[in-house]
């Protein structure tokens, strides 16, 4: 790819007010402020998308950068049939999933042997430093327990009973139904509704915290734009 010409910079504040539909034609011409605006506008979503697949901050950043490079290099193919955010998210997902597949393909023989000797083919390793006596771990467990206990307490009595017997105590549906003097079908219905209410209760308590998950803003966000611009201006 030839070096992208960079037109005279437009007023950044004006550029930031443009919609994606208005920014795309400018970005296709290599307009640096437009490219920066797109990058900074979509960094958060793309980082969270990559992070959800990769589960590593550093690697997620690499995935996002690679996705932007691919997107801007092939921006001429974007026809606007989908939202730009959707198009970028798909590219990011493909990059992240591709990286996961490559990592799996390079798994060492030792790791494969460990996997095959573990129950169900899974590697179950628990670092000794994260024992029940570790203060930080115990605090996290205590906070999680309190969250769940509050959610259970909020369930109506009939639903709370089947939930505790079935999901906390580990009884079978038949055992729990027999203990409560109800039919198994009724127990299943109540359990389904109890789980739904539990999920809604927990989501409600955590809704404010979700907005702060995996932040990607400030200098970090601006740095991504700088790296993308630099890469796009490199001759191929």
pLDDT in tens, 156-206: 888 988 898 898 878 789 988 887 888 999 999 999 999 999 999 888 888
Provide the pLDDT for residue 208. Answer: 67
- Give the pLDDT of residue 136: 64
Q: Specify the fold of 134-210.
A: Arc Repressor Mutant, subunit A (1.10.10)
Which CATH code, of 3.30.70.1520, 3.10.20.740, 1.10.1740.10, 1.10.8.60, is assigned to 12-107? 1.10.1740.10
Long-range contact list for 197-203, CB < 8 A, 24+ apart?
Answer: 197/154, 197/155, 197/159, 198/151, 198/152, 198/155, 198/163, 201/150, 201/151, 201/154, 202/147, 202/148, 202/151
Cα maximum dimension of the chain: 78
pLDDT at 3: 45
Query: Domain extents for the chain?
Result: 12-107, 134-210
Low-confidence ranges of the chain (pLDDT < 50): 1-10, 107-132
């Amino acid at each position: 790819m030839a070096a992208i010409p960079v037109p005279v910079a437009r007023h950044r504040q004006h550029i930031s007010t443009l919609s994606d539909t208005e920014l795309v034609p400018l970005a296709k011409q290599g307009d640096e402020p437009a490219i920066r605006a797109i990058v900074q506008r979509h960094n958060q979503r793309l980082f969270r998308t990559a992070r959800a697949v990769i589960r590593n901050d550093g690697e997620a950043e690499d995935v996002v950068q690679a996705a932007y490079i691919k997107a801007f290099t092939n921006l001429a193919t974007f026809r606007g049939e989908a939202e730009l955010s959707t198009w970028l998210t798909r590219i990011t997902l493909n990059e992240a999933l591709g990286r996961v597949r490559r990592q799996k393909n390079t798994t060492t023989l030792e790791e494969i042997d460990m996997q095959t000797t573990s129950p169900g083919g899974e590697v179950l390793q628990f670092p000794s430093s994260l024992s029940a006596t570790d203060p930080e771990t115990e605090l996290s467990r205590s906070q999680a327990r309190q969250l769940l206990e509050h959610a259970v307490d909020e369930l109506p009595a009939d639903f709370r009973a089947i939930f505790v017997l079935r999901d906390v105590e580990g009884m079978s549906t038949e055992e729990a139904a027999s203990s409560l003097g109800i039919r198994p079908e009724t127990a299943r219905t109540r359990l389904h509704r109890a789980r739904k209410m539990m999920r809604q209760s927990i989501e409600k308590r955590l809704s404010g915290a979700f907005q702060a998950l995996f932040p990607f803003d400030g200098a970090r966000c601006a740095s991504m734009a700088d790296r993308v611009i630099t890469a796009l201006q490199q001759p191929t």
